[in-house]
Chains A and B, each alone.
Chain A
Amino acid sequence: MNFLIGAFKPACNISITFSDGKSRKQVPMKKENGKTIMVSLFQSKESIAGKVSIEPLQGKKIEHLGVKVELLGQIEMYFDRGNFYDFTSLVRELDVPGDIYERKTYPFEFSTVEMPYETYNGANLRLRYVLKVTVSRNYGGSIVEYQDFIVRNYSPPPSINNSIKMEVGIEDCLHIEFEYNKSKYHLKDVIIGKIYFLLVRIKIKNMDLEIRRRESTGSGANTHVETETLAKFELMDGAPVRDTSIATDIYHFLKDSAHNHVLGIEGESIPIRLFLSPYELTPTYRNINNKFSVKYYLNLVLVDEEDRRYFKQQEIAIYRQQDS
Chain B
Amino acid sequence: MLNGTEDEEKWLAEGIAGIQHKAFYMHRALDSNNLREALKYSAQMLSELRTSKLSPRKYYELYMRAFDELKRLELFFKDDSKHGVSVVDLYELVQHAGNILPRLYLLCTVGSIYIKSKEAPAKEVLKDLVEMCRGVQHPIRGLFLRSYLAQISRDKLPDIGSEYEGDADTVMDAVDFVLQNFTEMNKLWVRMQHQGPGRVREKREKERSELQDLVGKNLHVLSQIEGVDLEMYKETVLPRVLEQVFPDEYHLQTLETLLGACPQLQPTVDVKTVLSRLMDRLSNYAASSADVLPEFLQVEAFSKLSNAIGKVIEAQVDMPAVGAITLYVSLLTFTLRVHPDRLDHVDQVLGACVKKLSNIPKLEDSRAMKQVVALLSAPLEKYNDIVTALTLSNYPRVMDHLDIGTNKLMAMVIIQSIMKNNSCISTADKVEVLFELIKGLIKDTDGADVDELDEEDFKEEQNSVARLIHMLYNDEPEEMLRIICIVRKHTMVGGPKRLPFTVSSLVFSALRLLRQLQGQEGDIVGEEASMTPNKIFQLLTQIIESLSAVPSPELALRLYLQCAEAANGCDIEHVAYEFFTQAFVLYEEEIADSKAQVTAIHLMIGTLQRMNVFGVENRDTLTHKATGYSARLLKKADQCRAVYACSHLFWVNDQDGIKDGERVLLCLKRALRIANAAQQMANVARGSGGPVSLFVEILNKYIYFFEKGNKQITSSAIQGLIELINTEMQSDSTNPDSVADAFLASTLRYIQFQKQKGGVVGEKFESIKL
Cβ–Cβ contact A243 & B194, under 8 A: yes
Known A246-B284, A253-B381, A258-B367; judge A237-B135 contact (CB<8 A): yes
Known A238-B139, A246-B280, A263-B277; judge A273-B95 contact (CB<8 A): yes
Cβ–Cβ contact A271 & B131, under 8 A: yes
| A270 in the interface (beta carbon within 8 A) | yes
| B421 in the interface (beta carbon within 8 A) | no
Interface size for B (C-beta < 8 A) is 41
Cβ–Cβ contact B283 & A237, under 8 A: no
Cβ–Cβ contact B280 & A271, under 8 A: no
Known A251-B374, A253-B377; judge A241-B191 contact (CB<8 A): yes
Our pick among B99, B101, B131, B284 for the contact of A249 (Cβ within 8 Å) is: B284
Bound-complex Cα distance A136 to B243 (A): 86
Bound-complex Cα distance A279 to B378 (A): 58
Cβ–Cβ contact B135 & A271, under 8 A: yes
A-B contact pairs, 11 of them (CB 8 A): A232-B98, A236-B136, A237-B100, A238-B139, A238-B141, A243-B194, A254-B373, A262-B273, A263-B280, A271-B131, A273-B132
Name the B residues within 8 Å of A16 (CB-CB).
Answer: none
| A269 in the interface (beta carbon within 8 A) | yes
Cβ–Cβ contact A241 & B138, under 8 A: no
Residues of B within 8 A of A (CB): 50, 92, 95-96, 98-101, 103, 131-132, 134-139, 141-142, 187, 190-191, 194, 243, 273, 276-277, 280-281, 283-284, 287, 326, 333, 367, 370, 373-374, 377-378, 381
Bound-complex Cα distance A251 to B374 (A): 8
Cβ–Cβ contact B100 & A236, under 8 A: yes
Cβ–Cβ contact B326 & A238, under 8 A: no
Bound-complex Cα distance A206 to B141 (A): 13
Known contacts A238-B142, A256-B370; 15 additional CB pairs below 8 A are A234-B103, A238-B137, A250-B333, A251-B374, A254-B370, A254-B373, A254-B374, A263-B277, A264-B243, A264-B273, A271-B132, A271-B134, A273-B95, A275-B96, A277-B96
Name the A residues within 8 Å of B378 (CB-CB).
Answer: 250
Name the A residues within 8 Å of B50 (CB-CB).
Answer: 237
Nearest chain A residue, comparing its CB with the CB of B377: A253
Cβ–Cβ contact A238 & B377, under 8 A: no
Bound-complex Cα distance A240 to B195 (A): 12
Bound-complex Cα distance A251 to B283 (A): 13
| A159 in the interface (beta carbon within 8 A) | no
Known A246-B280, A271-B131; judge A234-B137 contact (CB<8 A): no
Nearest chain A residue, comparing its CB with the CB of B92: A275
Nearest chain A residue, comparing its CB with the CB of B243: A264
Our pick among B134, B139, B377 for the contact of A270 (Cβ within 8 Å) is: B134
Name the B residues within 8 Å of A146 (CB-CB).
Answer: none
Name the B residues within 8 Å of A275 (CB-CB).
Answer: 92, 95-96
Cβ–Cβ contact B100 & A234, under 8 A: yes
| A199 in the interface (beta carbon within 8 A) | no
Name the B residues within 8 Å of A243 (CB-CB).
Answer: 190-191, 194
Name the A residues within 8 Å of B138 (CB-CB).
Answer: 237-238
| A278 in the interface (beta carbon within 8 A) | yes
| A69 in the interface (beta carbon within 8 A) | no
Name the B residues within 8 Å of A269 (CB-CB).
Answer: 134
Minimum CB–CB distance for A70 against chain B, Å = 41
Cβ–Cβ contact A240 & B131, under 8 A: no
Contact indicator per residue, chain A 260-276, by CB within 8 Å of chain B (1) or not (0): 00111000111101010
Bound-complex Cα distance A258 to B365 (A): 13
Bound-complex Cα distance A274 to B378 (A): 49
